[in-house]
């Protein structure tokens, strides 16, 4: 069984490691803050002091980090993955970053005999905890086949999309649908509330019809409860929407709906609400409509 290294132990990364441990893998872990390293060490993970050390002790290295510069630094920077890697290592980035960055890292690692996959995920903290993530993968088919058993310990819907960067393009598409659906659910439930109709009953009715969605199910309940403890932080979704808009500009696609929902995110972040769940878009509708 291949040895796994995992870098980035946040809301998503930590439960993903726990599922790898449950599947019987030996996992070496590193994170900027030490607390999750200590927690996972008590569950059987091996602590490391740097990305370089993770690579030295692993056959496959996985990253799950906030943004493009973080991944580039961890992989290509001083004491990074590349400095500790040997030919034959497989690198899997499960962060959500710019497709152009994924392609750059892929090219750099290929030059050193290292395979690389971009494999961003969807499903939020619940999917990470339950091992039911949707995983969209870009890179060589042989690398995907090698990675598949590991990915199956963390996710259920695992699709090889195409060449390097294709996974990140797919994740950008995912974030468009999620963002605009969250906005739609917020609008619908606030409209019901302001009209004097029970929004909980409206949600129940919609869940049985063509408007049914995972966002309506999970985020709709969060909106009804007024509970915005983050499963996926608004400021991270805003970061993803920047990738969406950047990619749209690069390929010449006018993303009108994406631009609109991004402005709503900007307004909430300006109010200091970036650490809330992305369903907090409903708070802005509450404010604007005095609901």
Q: Which residues belong to the active site?
A: 171
State how far the alpha carbon of 6 is from the alpha carbons of 70, 74, 110, 126, in Å: 14, 11, 20, 19
Q: Are strands 4-7 and 133-138 parallel, antiparallel or unpaired?
A: unpaired
CB-based contact 125:232 (threshold 8 Å):
yes
Q: How many CB atoms lie within 10 A of CB 191?
A: 15
- H-run or E-run covering 133: strand 133-138
| Parallel/antiparallel/unpaired status of strands 60-63 and 115-118 | unpaired
Residue with the two structure tokens 């999917």? 127
Say how far apart CA 47 and CA 209 lie, in whole Å: 48
CA distance 67 to 1: 30
Closest to 101 in 3D by CA, of 171, 150, 31:
171
């Amino acid at each position: 069984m291949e040895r796994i290294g995992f870098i980035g132990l946040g809301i998503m990364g930590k439960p993903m490691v726990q599922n790898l441990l449950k599947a019987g893998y030996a996992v070496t872990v590193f994170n900027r803050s030490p607390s999750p390293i200590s927690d996972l060490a008590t569950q059987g993970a091996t602590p490391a002091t740097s990305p370089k050390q993770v690579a030295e002790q692993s056959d496959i290295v996985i990253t799950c980090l906030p943004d493009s510069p973080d991944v580039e630094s961890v992989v290509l920077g001083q004491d990074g993955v590349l400095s500790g890697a040997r030919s034959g290592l497989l690198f899997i980035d499960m962060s959500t970053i710019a497709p152009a960055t994924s392609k750059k890292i892929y090219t750099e690692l290929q030059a050193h005999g290292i395979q690389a996959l971009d494999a961003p995920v969807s499903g939020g903290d619940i999917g990470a905890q339950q091992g039911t993530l949707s995983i969209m993968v870009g890179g060589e088919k042989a690398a995907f086949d090698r990675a598949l058993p590991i990915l199956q310990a963390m996710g259920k819907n695992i699709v090889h999309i195409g060449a390097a960067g294709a996974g990140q393009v797919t994740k950008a598409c995912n974030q468009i649908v999620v963002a605009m659906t969250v906005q739609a659910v917020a609008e619908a439930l606030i409209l019901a509330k302001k009209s004097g109709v029970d929004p909980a009953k409206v949600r129940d009715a919609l869940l049985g019809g063509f408007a049914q969605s995972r966002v309506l199910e999970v985020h709709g309940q969060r909106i009804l409860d007024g509970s915005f403890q983050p499963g996926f932080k608004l400021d991270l979704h805003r970061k993803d929407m920047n990738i969406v808009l950047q990619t749209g500009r690069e390929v010449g696609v006018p993303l009108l709906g994406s631009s609109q929902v991004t402005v709503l995110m900007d307004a909430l972040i300006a109010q200091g609400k970036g650490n809330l769940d992305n369903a907090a878009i409903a708070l802005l509708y509450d404010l604007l409509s005095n609901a």
